[in-house]
């Protein structure tokens, strides 16, 4: 539409009083035309609404009838049960929540509820959390009773299936210890069906197991004890726990400071998993490499192992070479002198099938000139695929030498540098020749953004590399926009990237709201 004011439209021009009156008169006819169009649109909208209502009625009619012949309603019961089972968590036990299976499945319809309630294996895994509170809770007893009844009901639905149960209870000496006993006692009648059991509870609760014998747990395969700081000291009298010697126990986890091999009545020869856990600072002062070798001699079937060792000196007693032919995962936490632990183990331990290796060096730095670095380990472990190293106890040169000696088949590498003084650009360059697919860097602040970007782009530009994931967490400031440079690789789906820096410590608004103004005169 033409206008005498076309040159002034979409500008900051301010019309005169005469021009304002002229504009008002100019708009009289367009305003009437606009109203006419709005009226027509309103009439047409009524017609559309009426047609939409008819369509919705037909759509509902069709959908309801199609639902009767939907494939999911005609699936055989056995297949539906398999689908339900596939909905369960695979990395942990089921929780008492309606947001996930099996409880969620029972909320879809009455038919699914009936199927889920009549399928025992859906209820054969359970994670139990004892209700606790830091303060006074007037309905505490009612809440505990409700959870206890839910636990019993859940397990009653499991039929005769072997059970996988994890129990998380309150702190030692707290107001809820008696409640923890109630939850544990609710599990005892099901002991003949215990298969995988995890207890994160105070030691006093575990002592109530003393009446159970190995004959009471014929299916038990996994037995794990975990603690957190609130549980206090963990003093277990192993001789009183008959279930430890269950005929099928093959996986055993225990807090490191309570690991006393000579007192634990395990069937060591059938162990496939041995895990020494607990808090990072909790090291068994008596667990030396020599005692460790003696213990492992009794475990020829080990597949997966986490060990915590404290060595104060390098000793080379006459211990034969120990071969663990089936071990594929080894996690080693070193306290005391790391050089001593590495020296003793490298000369006495043979692991021909090792695939995954983790080293947490939490003791002193490498001191003894005789001590081998990881070069000697990696030269022997040629089948390694996954390596994780906490390197802050290594010198820069030792770390570089160790990384250069990694087997070419390593696919996943994780480097932690708690002190940010060991892993640098040279260390990153040392793994250039590896067939890495994943790289994780934590607190490796000496590795520059430029070096990291160069490493990634080099691998992404060469077809024989299958690099697909990098994750880096820095405590230093960003010096280069890595993510923007890698955007083409990310957008194509070839690469997943996460690079995190600390938030800015400076704000231009700092203290602005607290400024006191001088009084006006």
pLDDT tens string 305-321: 998 888 877 776 677 88
Establish if 174 belongs to a structural domain.
yes
Establish if 428 belongs to a structural domain.
no
Can you give the pLDDT at residue 367? 44
Q: State percent of the chain over pLDDT 90.
A: 58
Can you give the pLDDT at residue 513? 67
Helical packing angle, 338-348 and 289-297, nearest 10°: 30
Can you give the pLDDT at residue 42? 96
pLDDT tens digits, 156-185: 999 999 999 999 886 555 555 557 788 888
Phi, psi at 78, each rounded to 5°: -60, -40
Establish if 348 belongs to a structural domain.
no
pLDDT tens digits, 182-204: 888 899 999 999 999 999 887 77
Range of the domain at 241: 124-248
Angle, vertex CA 467, rays to CA 464 and CA 470, nearest 5: 160
Phi, psi at 247, each rounded to 5°: -65, -15
Can you give the pLDDT at residue 52? 97
Establish if 182 belongs to a structural domain.
yes
pLDDT tens digits, 16-52: 999 999 999 999 999 999 999 999 999 999 999 999 9
Would you say residue 480 has pLDDT above 60? yes
Can you give the pLDDT at residue 138? 67
Can you give the pLDDT at residue 520? 59
Q: Which residue has better confidence, 284 or 287?
A: 287
Give how many domains the chain has, as a whole number. 1
Q: State percent of the chain over pLDDT 70.
A: 89
DSSP state of 440: E
Establish if 161 belongs to a structural domain.
yes
Can you give the pLDDT at residue 262? 86
pLDDT tens digits, 229-239: 555 555 677 87
Establish if 462 belongs to a structural domain.
no
Can you give the pLDDT at residue 72? 86
pLDDT tens digits, 372-387: 578 888 888 899 999 9
CA distance 293 to 309: 11
218 pLDDT band, cuts 50/70/90, is very high
Sign of the alpha-carbon dihedral angle for 65, 71, 74, 78: negative
Establish if 172 belongs to a structural domain.
yes
CA distance 474 to 501: 5
Can you give the pLDDT at residue 136? 54
- Mean pLDDT, to the nearest integer, of 78-91? 95
Would you say residue 297 has pLDDT above 90? yes
Can you give the pLDDT at residue 27? 92
pLDDT tens digits, 99-122: 999 999 999 999 999 999 999 999
Q: Is the pTM of this model over 0.85?
A: no
């Amino acid at each position: 539409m033409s206008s005498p004011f076309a040159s002034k439209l979409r500008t900051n021009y301010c019309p005169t009083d005469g021009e304002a009156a002229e504009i008002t008169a100019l708009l009289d006819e367009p305003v009437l035309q606009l109203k006419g169009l709005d009226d027509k649109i309103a009439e047409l909208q009524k017609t559309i609404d009426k047609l939409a209502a008819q369509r919705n009625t037909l759509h509902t009619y069709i959908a309801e009838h199609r639902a009767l012949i939907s494939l999911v309603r005609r699936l055989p019961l056995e297949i539906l049960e398999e689908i339900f089972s596939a909905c369960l968590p695979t990395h942990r036990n089921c929780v008492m929540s309606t947001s996930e299976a099996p409880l969620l499945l029972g909320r879809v319809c009455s038919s699914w509820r009936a199927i889920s309630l009549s399928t025992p294996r859906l209820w054969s895994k359970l994670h139990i959390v004892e209700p606790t509170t830091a303060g006074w809770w007037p309905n505490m007893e009612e809440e505990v009773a409700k959870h206890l009844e839910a636990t019993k009901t859940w397990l009653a639905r499991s039929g005769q299936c072997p059970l996988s149960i994890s129990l998380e209870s309150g702190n030692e000496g707290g107001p809820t210890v008696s409640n923890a006993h109630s939850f544990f006692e609710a599990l005892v009648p099901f002991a003949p069906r215990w298969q995988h059991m995890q207890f994160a509870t105070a030691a006093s609760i575990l002592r109530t197991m003393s009446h159970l014998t190995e004959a009471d747990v014929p299916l038990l395969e996994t037995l794990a004890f975990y603690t957190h700081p609130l549980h206090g000291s963990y003093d277990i009298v192993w001789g009183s726990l008959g279930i430890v010697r269950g005929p099928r126990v093959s996986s055993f986890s225990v807090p490191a400071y309570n690991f006393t091999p000579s007192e634990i009545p395990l069937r060591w020869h059938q162990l496939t998993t041995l895990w020494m856990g607990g808090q990072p600072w909790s090291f068994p002062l008596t667990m030396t490499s020599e005692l460790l070798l003696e213990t492992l001699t009794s475990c020829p079937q080990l597949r997966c192992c986490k060990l915590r060792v404290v060595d104060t000196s390098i000793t080379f007693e006459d211990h034969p070479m120990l071969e663990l032919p089936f071990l594929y995962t080894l996690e080693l936490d070193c306290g005391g002198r790391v050089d001593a632990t590495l020296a003793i183990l490298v000369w006495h331990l043979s692991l021909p099938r090792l695939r995954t290796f983790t080293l947490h060096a939490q003791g002193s730095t490498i001191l003894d000139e005789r001590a081998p670095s990881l070069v000697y380990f990696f030269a022997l472990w040629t089948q390694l695929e996954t390596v994780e190293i906490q390197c802050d106890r290594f010198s820069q040169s030792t770390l570089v030498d160790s990384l250069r000696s990694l087997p070419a088949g390593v696919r996943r590498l994780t480097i932690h540098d708690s002190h940010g003084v060991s892993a640098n650009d040279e260390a990153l360059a040392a793994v250039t020749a590896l067939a890495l697919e994943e790289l994780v860097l934590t607190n490796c602040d000496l590795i520059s953004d430029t070096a990291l970007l160069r490493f990634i782009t080099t691998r992404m530009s060469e077809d024989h590399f299958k690099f697909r994931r990098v994750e880096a967490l820095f405590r230093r400031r960003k010096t280069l926009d890595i993510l923007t440079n890698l955007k083409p690789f990310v957008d194509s789906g070839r690469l997943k990237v996460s690079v995190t820096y600390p938030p800015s410590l400076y704000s231009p608004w700092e203290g602005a709201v607290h400024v006191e103004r001088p009084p006006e005169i």
